[in-house]
Each structure stands twice: as structure tokens, then as C-alpha cells.
Copies of this chain bind each other. A is one copy, B any other.
């Protein structure tokens, strides 16, 4: 065990720790890759939900970015961000808030995949006297939402928007299915699937005389693996800012890239069972079990010492509300190390979005290792 870091002494545990150097490296890596392929990166702010992180992500500028809730749109718009895509299908009752955010000077774009939504966006555009822009969501892999990119729906939805008084901004797709495969080759194939779906629909729209200025694709695995972005204007990704055990397990990053962890304290032992009990339960770690389907199951998180060094084979094997049970991975021949009462550990997340969502603030370990921790608030809600 390392010497305790005095900067952590005043933190009640559990606490969310963010390694700023790793985060900046992750941000720069994908920015370089996507711009190198001729597209624009539109980071997804759903992972970070923090104006401070967004400022780093957007290199001090005000866009473009992606959001997953109108609460995010409102907070980031109020912070000056001018170019946001709300990448969750719009419901009619949300259009008044969308229009208010737009009226305050933010170019907020909505997403839809059905005629009812297209008619509602058009009707609201007419009613409020401003053309609300919309992206048509495409289903490139059967994962969740979206219309068939090769079918007639993109043009039908496009016409409903344009003829009805809304703005057709383009098309958007997300290969959520890329999380079901591992390795750069497999992710590159999904990236090409995203690209083909988006370009196919964009071509249909343009052939029909409709506009399609934005052709948007992305997921963290495909964004890193993409080799060709011909015809694509922008790439979206979110979790790469922090990375996590799922992304590492999928081969998108290494453990060394993981920027987020939960600081916790040992509060007891069941030594004959090889358990240490920690004060990080699911209220801190979340109940995400995203590595359960991968080749290495990390339980509810991989255990590091206070300095962030992985303690091999030690994972959180179970969680209750405010308790976690730390033990050696099933099948491991390593014994539980000495972890005296009060020892501080750090737990790496299966899913960074899910762990971060459980906390109200980041405690940021700055790039300068001797500098004091910074506090960056997070927000939630809708």
C-alpha cells in the first residue's frame, strides 16, 4: 500500500475522483483521430454533466456538442454553448422547452424517427414562428431506435418536416450494437455500417431534393476504430472522456486510460471468507454489470490502491446500498492483501456514465501532481 495521499484526507468517502491528465489525453486522442479523417467531433456531454469538463472537451469553445436530456441542454446553453444536438427521440410535450432554449440563442437540434414526431415538430415550428431543426434517426444495427436508412421513411419524414415548416438538418445514427463485439477490426466494421447507413439515407434525401447538411454517426467504440469517414460530417462519442472497464474489455482503451474512480474506505472484514467490506455500495458504484458479458468479468468494479494502481485480481464481488464486498476474482489464487480498517481504495467503474451519475461532484486530481484537488460540480435531472 502506498503512503496515504494527504489531499484525500478531507474527502468523505465514497468520493468521485477524476484524473485530469488521463482525461485530457483521452480527449486529445479522439479529437486527433476524427479531425484527421476529415470530420468534426461532437462530444456527448451525457457522461460528464459538468460545465467544467465540457469547457475542456470543447477546448474552451461553445460547441458542437451532444446532450441526452433537456436539463443538459438548458445548463450547457446557459453556460454559453451554442450548438447542441438532443440525441434522444423528441416527444411533443417537450417542444416548448426546446423552443425556449433556441429562443435564448442556442442552436438546439432535435432527433426523431416517426411521422407523429415530425408532424409535431412542424406544427410547433409554425405555432412559434421559428423553424425547429430536426435530424432523422436511422437504425443501422437493430439496436434501439431509428428508421431503415435504405427504406422510404427518411424521405417521408424529411418531407413532413420541410413541408410542415420545420427544418430538416440531416440524419443521425448510433451503432449501439458495437458494444456486443470486441476489438478494433470488429468495431471498424460497425463504424463502416454506421457510415453506410448515414450516407445511404443522406443520398436518398438529397436525391429527393431535400437538404441534408448534417450526416452524424458515432459511439465510443466505432469513433475510435473508424478508418473512413467519407460523406460523414460529424462523429459523436461520450464515454471516451473517462473510459471504463467495459471500454477496456472491448479493446477500445487500456486500463491506463481510465480517468474515473470511486475513492472508498475499508470498514470491516470477514477474513475467513477473504472479504474486505468497503463503504462504496451501489449508491456509489452503480449497479452496472457491463463486464458480465465480456471475457473478464470485473464484478462491480476493479480495485486499485489509493494511488490508482490496480491490485491484481481484486474486484468488488457484491454491493448493497452502502456496502461493497471486495474479494479476489473467482478462480484467482491470490489471497486478499492486508487492508487495515480505514484503508482507502479506488474502484474503477464498469461504466463511467453510470458511476458518475451517482455523484454530485468530481474531485479532480490536477495535471500538476503537487497541486491541490479541484472540485467540479455535476448535475442530474431532466
Contacts and interface: CB of A to CB of B under 8 A. Distances in A.
Interface stretch (A23-31, A113-121, A195-203): A113-121
A282 B351 CA distance: 12
A176 interface: yes
Contacts of A112: 268
Question: Which of A120, A176, A269, A382: most chain B CB closer than 10 A?
Answer: A382
23 contacts: A9-B93, A12-B70, A12-B97, A13-B91, A14-B382, A68-B322, A88-B279, A89-B279, A90-B267, A91-B341, A91-B342, A94-B265, A114-B341, A116-B341, A117-B268, A120-B341, A144-B323, A144-B325, A284-B382, A287-B287, A287-B288, A321-B353, A359-B381
Given A176-B320, A320-B176, A353-B321, A268 B14 contact: no
A329 to B, nearest CB: 19
A18 interface: no
A279 to B, nearest CB: 7
A360 interface: yes
Which label, helix, strand, loop or mixed, suits the secondary structure of the A interface? Answer: loop
Contact of A266 (B91, B94, B277, B283): B91
Interface of A: 9, 12-15, 46, 68-71, 88-94, 97, 112-114, 116-117, 120, 139, 144-145, 176, 265-270, 277, 279, 282-284, 286-289, 320-323, 325, 340-342, 353-354, 357-360, 380-382
A68 B321 contact: yes
A108 to B, nearest CB: 15
The 6 closest A-B pairs by CB, nearest first: A89-B267, A116-B341, A287-B287, A89-B268, A91-B265, A68-B322
Contacts of A284: 382
Contact of A265 (B93, B268, B269, B360): B93
A46 B323 CA distance: 13
A12 B321 contact: no
Nearest to A113: B268
A149 to B, nearest CB: 14
A277 B145 contact: yes
A277 B144 contact: yes
Contacts of A114: 268-269, 341
Contact of A283 (B93, B120, B145, B357): B357
Contact of A322 (B69, B283, B325, B341): B69
